[in-house]
Structure 1
Amino acid sequence: MKIIICKDYEHMSRFSADIVIEQIRQKPDSVIGLATGSTPLGMYKELIRQYKKGRVDFSKVVTFNLDEYLGLSPDHPQSYHYFMFNNFFNHINIKIENVNLPGGITAYNLDGVCREYDEKIEKAGGIDLQILGIGHNGHIGFNEPGKKLYTQTHIVSLSHETIKANSRFFDHIDEVPRKAITMGVGGIMRAKKILLLASGKDKAAIIKKAFSGIITTEIPASLLQLHKDILVILDKEAAKELKLDNKRFCA
């Protein structure tokens, strides 16, 4: 595990975008796992900017998103389908047939939908680079803290803490879906490389808990310490409680 600390969110976003660009340069048909939420927005904006400058070509890239709310249509402003197209896909030259997001409004055969998503990832050759954020309670994707964790894509009931945190995107907390479909921890860990992003002082406590040596299902992100190739990129605010020897600063 490598931890890199950037001076601020903007610098962190540029640094992480450069890693994605380098991945695509080395393998133009890379399979990239994507995350939603406010943290990767700056990275997506920087990737769009670099695409418009001709520095990166997404025409052969294949993407798989981590998760989606259950019950929201793809055109719902708070669905992750809408988020990804509005903030990223509509602004680059990625092929629509190469974009994969788990079904959010599906009301039939949910087990089959989950199984098919994992099979599609496997058929694509697995994920080369997985982008992650981290929740205030340590969740990755929508894998919530608990005594047990699922390895495969599955349906999850969101914790009250996650619902409360995500309510800032909705008009009222009652509008936040209570369930979601998410890639499992096993699926995340099978990625060849993982890039986790976190920013802001409100993430400092969970970053310390997740990456200070203790591994527990009560902090799902802590399992990432077992991955053979993970890069954690933080701004100074998110990193201020870390006291590790393996951290370094952005160039």
Structure 2
Amino acid sequence: MPTATKSFYVDDLLVQIYKSETEMALDAAEVVQKYLKQLLQKQNKTALLLATGNSQLKFLNALITLGEIDWSKIILFHLDEYLGISAEHPASFRFYLRERVEKRVFPQQFHYLEGDTLEPIAECDRYSKLLQNQTIDLCLLGVGENGHLAFNDPAVADFQDPASVKLVKLDEINRQQQLNTGYFQNMVDVPQYAFTLTIPMICQAKKIICLAPEKRKAKIVQEILQGDITTTCPASILRTQPQASLFLDLNSASLLT
């Protein structure tokens, strides 16, 4: 079992640093596996919020490969989805999660945000009601290069947001990051709007595991942990969440002092 080379708190947030992204992903997977097994010994179902992106790939594969989780008792939600994109588009988060998770573990239910809905406001309401009727036991997160959680970019992040799900316009740093994934041919193809769970909805989760590996995340990790807690860096809110842990590798932690 991999172990962190460093482990410390920044305010209420547990931070763990690993030699490599692989070790980080494996240890995070073991932490989550143990947590889910313990939960399912006490309750007959549990609910998870899943993230997408490169930071989740090794982790999700490791978690599923570990096994010993009764996925038939698990209800899945996800954090965000582009507006106006079909579930078959390779950049769709529904596509990502269906191929990498649902088809491999067959959960009890997977509630997807319907990105290609004809009524976006009604979709926000529908998904909000599903979330509000369900205790979220675990939220898995990544961090954007602009500090976003889900699609809560700095311009739209609200630590006191009254909504659970909202429609937002993506900022240019975020859209450039999405272009860099390789799923879009040019910036014009990157959707300008997306659905996102809000910051307060994310923070309602009983446990939060945030993965932020890679050198390109080093600057924002430094801002999260050593800057102010502000919507200018939405992920800084994790420092106020005692149920949250931030997993880093040596590359993403390289600018920390």
Length-normalised TM-score, structure 1: 0.90
Look up the SS of the partner of 1:91 in the other structure.
helix
Q: Aligned-pair distance for 1:23?
A: 1.9
With over 3 angstroms needed to count, the CA separation of the structure-2 counterparts of 1:26 and 1:148, relative to structure 1, is closer
Q: How many residues align?
A: 236
Task: Tell whether 2:152 aligns with 1:143.
Answer: yes
Q: Is the 8 A contact 1:139 1:219 kept in 2?
A: yes
With over 3 angstroms needed to count, the CA separation of the structure-2 counterparts of 1:79 and 1:236, relative to structure 1, is same
Task: Tell whether 2:242 aligns with 1:231.
Answer: no
Alpha-carbon displacement from aligned partner over 1:30-52 (angstroms, at most 9, x marks no partner): 2111000010010111122122x
- Aligned sequence identity (%): 31
Look up the SS of the partner of 1:127 in the other structure.
coil
Unaligned runs of 5+ in 2: 1-12
Length-normalised TM-score, structure 2: 0.88
With over 3 angstroms needed to count, the CA separation of the structure-2 counterparts of 1:240 and 1:15, relative to structure 1, is same
Across the aligned residues of Structure 1 and Structure 2, the Cα RMSD in angstroms comes to 1.4
Q: Which amino acid aligns with 1:62?
A: I
Partners of 1:146 and 1:58 in 2: CA distance: 37
Q: Which amino acid aligns with 2:115?
A: G
Q: Is the 8 A contact 1:157 1:179 kept in 2?
A: yes
Q: Which amino acid aligns with 2:88?
A: D
Q: Map of 1:36-185 to 2, 5 A cutoff?
A: 36-51=52-67, 55-95=68-108, 98-108=109-119, 110-124=120-134, 126-146=135-155, 149=158, 150-152=161-163, 153-168=165-180, 169-185=183-199
Q: Aligned-pair distance for 1:107?
A: 1.9
Look up the SS of the partner of 1:137 in the other structure.
coil
Task: Tell whether 2:29 aligns with 1:7.
Answer: no
Alpha-carbon displacement from aligned partner over 1:188-230 (angstroms, at most 9, x marks no partner): 1111111110111111110110122511111111112111211
Q: Is the 8 A contact 1:151 1:185 kept in 2?
A: no
Q: Which amino acid aligns with 1:228?
A: P
Task: Tell whether 2:209 aligns with 1:188.
Answer: no
Unaligned runs of 5+ in 1: 244-251
Tell me which stretches of 4 or more aligned residues in structure 1 moved more than 6 Å.
Answer: none
